[in-house]
Amino acid sequence: MLTDIQIGDLVRMRKQHPCGGWVWEVTRIGADIGIQCQTCLRRVMLTRRELNRRAKSITPGKPNEEPKALPQE
C-alpha cells in the first residue's frame, strides 16, 4: 500500500520509539523519507517501503501555505 506522503504529514508508527514517542513528522521526501520524532526531535531516514511497513496510520498535516512576499524597500 503506497500512500501519497507530503511534507508535514504526521505518521503514527507501529512500535514505540525508545524516548516514548509514537508520532513522527515527515520532513523530507525523495527516494528516502525523512521523519522526525515529535517527542525527542530525533531525525531518521527510511525507504518508502520501510516507512509503509512500519507506519500504523498517516494523518495529513497542515496545508502548504503560500510563501509570504518579502517587504519592499
pLDDT in tens, 1-55: 456 889 999 999 999 999 999 999 999 999 899 999 999 999 999 999 999 999 9
What is the SS3 assignment for 35-72?
EEECCCCCEEEEEHHHHHHHEEEEECCCCCCCCCCCCC
Model pTM above 0.85: no
The arrangement of strands across the sheet holding 55-59 comes to 43-47, 32-37, 23-28, 10-13, 55-59
The set of residues, in sequence order, having a beta carbon less than 8 Å from that of 73 and lying 6+ positions away, is: none
pLDDT in tens, 41-56: 999 999 999 999 999 9
